[in-house]
Chains A and B, each alone.
Chain A
Amino acid sequence: MTPEIGHFALALALALALIQSILPILGAARNDVVWMKSAVWTSVAQTVFVGIAFAALMTAFVTSDFTVLNVIENSHSLKPLLFKISGTWGSHEGSLLLWVLILAVFGALVALLGNNIAEGTKARTLSVQAWISVGFLSFMLFTSNPFDRVFPPPLDGQDLNPLLQDVGLAMHPPLLYLGYVGFSIVFSFAVAALIEGRVDAAWARWVRPWALAAWVFLTAGIALGSWWAYYELGWGGWWFWDPVENVSFMPWLMGTALLHSAIVTEKRGAFKSWTILLAILTFSLSLLGTFIVRSGLLTSVHAFAVDPERGFYILGLLAVSIGGSFALYAWRAPSMEGGGLFKPVSREAGLLVNNLILATATGIVLFGTLYPLFYEALNDGQKLSVGPPFFNAGFIPVILPLVFMMGLGPFLSWKRANVGTVAARLKWVAVLSVGFGLVLWYLVRGGPILGYLSLMLAAWLLFATLREWALRIRLFEESFRVTMRRARNLPRASWGMTIAHGGLAIAIFGFVGSSVWKSEQILFVSPGTEISIAGFDVTFTGAEQIRGPNYVAERGTLSVRRNGEDLGFLYPERRYYPVADSSTTESSIRSTVAGDLYASLAQPASENVEGANVWTLRILYEPLVMLIWIGSSLLVLGGTISLTDRRLRVGAPRRTAASQPAPLPIAGE
């Protein structure tokens, strides 16, 4: 019964979305307040019904209802509860339901929290949001119904892919989708503004918290996915430039550009059409990701079940939403320019450079990701690979200047910055970071120049960010009391920027340290084997069989010492899941800020290794890798703090009555 309720709730949600997609926007055109207000209840009710459907599917998973096809294919009665729950979004259908739920939730949040938004803008935005809902709800109902039944039901399920049975990966899709789909609301705001024909400071301020929230979730989602790949895949890498990673990275890059460009639109009224374009692009790239992951268009390490019919449907959705919004943009945007002038050295110019670099980087990733497809189409089915060497060579040199700009930018004043003042303020930062690079080179030696250069730039960013913060609170210039008061009164948005920029600097230390100065040993071990790596003395003492709820495992024990001091044990496991008939490696990691000692165990593949007491051990030392996760957490924290800025919640300017909904032509303001 529950699955039918879920199915029915989805159909109702579609009906509500249809109403919401028409009524409010008509109301805005006719200035009919009741019609406009209908967006509020429809979006809330739509959320409730999608929520019911989601709860129904989750119930089916938790109670192991094997009459439901989706549960059979992705669950097993012995699976731990947490992974029964996460199994809800482990398949194409279930994850799509989660996608639609988040879409509806964001719409409802705007409906309920967006009291400061002009009624017309809000109505239009929510209608546009409902258009997306209609598209995806019908996609789900017509091609990917998660509630399909099977009769007679089998005795048990086929289990979820064991690699997905992991806490990190259980949480990864929800966070990622909160990010991807969160940008839908920004997209809807942009399309509404294009329909309405005006963009102003108020619009930028309404959009900013939603963009920021989506960005925070996307950052967390990507970082979590990267962390999962690091500890679960068994070879200690955290980024592979796989198409699926790239399609999550591109909206992040564009979203980051959007956050910064919206500042200029809000504070100076410039970059209007650019900000709108970024808002559309960010969500378009999220949709592109959904399409690529679910259509099987590109070969990737992780893809859902592939079905061309679904591919065509999503491509149709893309054509309508992206094509439609770009067409609208081409029509309306040219009349939207305007805003303050600025000099080549100014905060605006700095943010412009930031945006251009991010756009260039996105372009490179996009082109590299899609090039194999282009090549195949244009060369008669010949194939080509575009792998990490291309992305590293294209992306890193483009993005490094951004690190420099991030340090410099906050020192530039709006309109026109005084080069002398800026140089004076950053003099010691420059000296310190260059000094840091040289000392590091003197101490470490080995490794590529690019590694030292990157670390020097990261140091520059960190020092410059701290310097800017110190200037703001007049650290050491005034009494401690004054400094404290200034720190307290510093806007949350400034705190957010300081923390996020500092976080990125710290993450760069992790990126570089773990890629450039990683050491690795791969060897056969049997009880008693001693290994020394990066100053650690590791002894393999043996392995034992253990039994988990739905798997069996071999668990190795490694004792770790350094300079004769006992540092504890590592327990890498190799798990076998009989139902799914597949194995996973569970690496064991000793993490410190200085570096991770990382061990993973496997059975020897080689035919010529005999004896039951021999295993293959891969042991790695990755310096500073923890800084990636600390830095990412700071990015998330900075974004969150910025989100609590009072300016985003209250006091956002209402448009004056005179400029209320504009049946006027869209001339410059």
Chain B
Amino acid sequence: MRWLAFAPLLIAAVIGGFFLWGLDPDRDPNAIPSVLISQPAPAFDLEAVAGLDMPGLERADLVGNEGPVIVNVFASWCVPCRAEHAVLTSLVEQEGQTLFGINYKDKPEDAVRWLNELGNSYARIGSDLSGRAGIEWGISGVPETFIVAPDGTVLYRYVGPVVGDDAVQTFRAALRDAEDWQPEAGT
């Protein structure tokens, strides 16, 4: 029975090991991995934003583009989106990326005013008044930004605003990976 007396120590050591792992400063206990990564983009079909001279967005628009596209979920009521908007604009204007927008639970007139003020570098914007497309994309808040491959596969998801050097670098790296991405044979 002597070994049994070591059981508490062993159990405590194992649990302690997990705690040590969990304290890793790079681990974010609140982050939730997306189930969409490497999956086909979800089906959705959004009308254009009323009063904006720009087509709406649906699943088919994500397929057959020349390179990967950026899908950005934004809203005029979302404060961090404002700062992120400048970053996304520069990606489009200076690097020629394609940017699609999902205007999440936003009043169309607010969205129009917001875009007129900040500039509009989106190629298409779908108006998600009900938030249903947001659920299809599995978003947990605004903003979120996805990178979608030409065959419609979701490659990457960024939660929160792409703002600040670290975030922009991470996102750029993801974009580069996306450009090199080849669909696996048979899928």
Q: Which of A281, A296, A315 contacts B29 (CB 8 A)?
A: A296
Q: Are B8 and A277 in contact (CB under 8 A)?
A: yes
B164 within 8 A of A: no
Q: For residue A296, which residues in chain B have a CB less than 8 angstroms away from its CB?
A: 29
Q: Are A284 and B2 in contact (CB under 8 A)?
A: no
Q: Are B18 and A373 in contact (CB under 8 A)?
A: yes
Q: Are A326 and B19 in contact (CB under 8 A)?
A: no
Of chain B, the residue at the smallest CB distance from A379 is B33
A293-327 residues with Cβ-Cβ distance < 8 A to B are 295-299, 308, 311-312, 315, 318-319, 322-323, 326-327
- Known A-B contacts A296-B29, A323-B13; the reply to A377 vs B5 at CB < 8 A is no
B23-37 residues with Cβ-Cβ distance < 8 A to A are 23, 25, 27, 29-33
A545-573 residues with Cβ-Cβ distance < 8 A to B are none
Q: Are B33 and A383 in contact (CB under 8 A)?
A: yes
- Known A-B contacts A284-B12, A323-B13, A370-B15; the reply to A297 vs B22 at CB < 8 A is yes
- Report the contact-size class of chain B (Cβ under 8 Å from the partner): 20 to 34
Q: Are B33 and A323 in contact (CB under 8 A)?
A: no
B9 within 8 A of A: yes
Of chain B, the residue at the smallest CB distance from A280 is B8
Q: Which of A284, A297, A330 contacts B5 (CB 8 A)?
A: A330
Tell me how far the C-beta of B161 lies from the nearest C-beta in chain A, rounded to whole angstroms. Answer: 21
Q: Are B16 and A315 in contact (CB under 8 A)?
A: yes
- Known A-B contacts A308-B23, A318-B16, A377-B18; the reply to A330 vs B33 at CB < 8 A is no
Interface string of B1-12 (1 = CB under 8 A from A): 110011011001
Q: Are A322 and B12 in contact (CB under 8 A)?
A: yes
Tell me how far the C-beta of A311 lies from the nearest C-beta in chain B, rounded to whole angstroms. Answer: 5
B57-109 residues with Cβ-Cβ distance < 8 A to A are none
Q: Are B9 and A297 in contact (CB under 8 A)?
A: no
- Known A-B contacts A284-B12, A323-B16; the reply to A373 vs B5 at CB < 8 A is no
Of chain A, the residue at the smallest CB distance from B35 is A382
A333 within 8 A of B: yes
Of chain A, the residue at the smallest CB distance from B9 is A326
Q: Are B12 and A291 in contact (CB under 8 A)?
A: no
Tell me how far the C-beta of B141 lies from the nearest C-beta in chain A, rounded to whole angstroms. Answer: 15
A334 within 8 A of B: yes
Of chain A, the residue at the smallest CB distance from B29 is A299
B185 within 8 A of A: no
6 intermolecular pairs with C-beta atoms under 8 Å apart: A273-B5, A280-B8, A308-B23, A326-B9, A334-B5, A381-B27
Q: A-contacting residues of B (Cβ < 8 Å)? A: 1-2, 5-6, 8-9, 12-13, 15-16, 18-23, 25, 27, 29-33
Q: What 8 pairs between A and B have smallest CB-CB spacing?
A: A326-B9, A330-B6, A330-B5, A326-B8, A311-B23, A308-B25, A333-B5, A334-B2
